[in-house]
Amino acid sequence: MNDVTLRLSGLTKTYLQGTPGEVQVLRGVDLELRAGEAVALVAPSGAGKSTLLHIAGLLDTPDAGTVEIAGQDAAGKGDRTRTALRRQDVGFVYQFHHLLPEFSALENIVLPQLANGISEKAAQDRAMQLLGRVGVAERASHRPAALSGGEQQRVAFCRALANNPRVLLADEPTGNLDPETSDQVFAALMALVREAGLSALIATHNLDLAARMDRMLRLDGGVLRPVE
Ligand SMILES: Nc1ncnc2c1ncn2[C@@H]1O[C@H](COP(=O)(O)OP(=O)(O)OP(=O)(O)O)[C@@H](O)[C@H]1O
Ligand SMILES: [Mg+2]
């Protein structure tokens, strides 16, 4: 199907951990994420959510299996091709914002666009527009340390969406926030996802937030299972 933006097939990943030996975190993960679909990824701590998201986002490689993004198979591709694919088509959000501390909110959203060949003026316009959408335009010149946790995550969402990706991957994007802020920030993220019509795979421990997505998958014993 050509509206599948992210296809994971047969992903496996084992970490060598010294004694008592190795831990097989992924044992054959299959997933098809369609355009415009938001999917919740739920699982207990240590089940492998971050491992799965990093492999899906081409930040790590699987032992076996394939990752296909926007119809392009990343398996066996070199670093440059993988980096280009990631830059164009994947937005990634971490639990802790991972913004660059020496740069302003605006610059943090501009930089990935410059790396993608966008002009500075166009990148700034796009950054301001995104900041306005999540309600932090007036904080554009602040460095991350001068922003609240909720504001930092909103800026991180803008950065993830700066290059108009097809796929958004988020690893507990509101896990570091108090419940009320978490709710508001999550709503801002979903509004951006819906507006851009992109696909999202969002890991969360919060079942209320998970229920607001289109479907829920549980990572259980190294494979994904639907949650009814
Ligand atoms: N680089 C690594 N080397 C060795 N083991 C690792 C490595 N990264 C993760 N693991 C192990 O793999 C398992 C899955 O880790 P992962 O971080 O993917 O879980 P998670 O579901 O994201 O957990 P959490 O909810 O706490 O973030 C854990 O047992 C962890 O200790
Ligand atoms: Mg994790």
Query: Nearest C-alpha to atom 29 of ligand 1 is from which residue?
Result: 46
The ligand that comes nearest to the alpha carbon of residue 49 is: 1
Ligand 2 centroid to Cα of residue 50, in Å, is 4
Query: What number does the ligand 1 atom closest to the CA of 16 have?
Result: 4
Query: What number does the ligand 1 atom closest to the CA of 43 have?
Result: 21
pLDDT on residue 23: 87
Q: Tell whether ligand 1 has an atom less than 6 A from the beta carbon of residue 43.
A: yes
Query: Nearest C-alpha to atom 7 of ligand 1 is from which residue?
Result: 15
Range scoring the smallest mean pLDDT among 5-14, 16-25, 50-59, 128-137? 16-25
Residue 211 C-alpha from the chain's centroid: 18
Q: Tell whether ligand 1 has an atom less than 6 A from the beta carbon of residue 46.
A: yes
Is residue 1 pLDDT above 60, yes or no? no
Query: Nearest C-alpha to atom 16 of ligand 1 is from which residue?
Result: 48
Q: Which whole number is the average pLDDT over 190-200?
A: 92
Is residue 11 pLDDT above 60, yes or no? yes
Q: How sure is the predictor about 61, in pLDDT bands with cuts at 50, 70 and 90?
A: very high
pLDDT on residue 78: 87
Q: Tell whether ligand 1 has an atom less than 6 A from the beta carbon of residue 10.
A: no
Count of C-beta atoms within a 10 Å radius of residue 194: 12
Q: Which whole number is the average pLDDT over 81-99?
A: 93
The ligand that comes nearest to the alpha carbon of residue 59 is: 1
Q: Which whole number is the average pLDDT over 77-91?
A: 91
Closest CA to 196 of 103, 134, 110, 111: 134
pLDDT on residue 130: 95
pLDDT on residue 228: 80
Q: Alpha-carbon distance 19 to 111, whole Å?
A: 42
Q: Which whole number is the average pLDDT over 16-24?
A: 78
Tokens of 70: 């926007």
pLDDT in tens, 200-226: 999 999 999 999 999 999 999 999 999
Query: Nearest C-alpha to atom 27 of ligand 1 is from which residue?
Result: 45
| pTM flag (> 0.85) | yes
DSSP string, 27-77: EEEEEEEETT-EEEEE--TTSSHHHHHHHHTTSS--SEEEEEETTEE-TT-
* Average pLDDT over all residues of the chain: 93
pLDDT on residue 17: 76
Q: Yes or no: say if 13 and 25 are a contact pair by the CB < 8 Å rule.
A: yes
Q: Alpha-carbon distance 11 to 53, whole Å?
A: 11
Q: What domains does the chain contain, in order, with CATH numbers?
A: 4-15+23-226 (3.40.50.300)
Is residue 122 pLDDT above 90, yes or no? yes
Ligand 1: residue of 13, 14, 25 to mutate (most ligand atoms within 8 A of CB) is 25
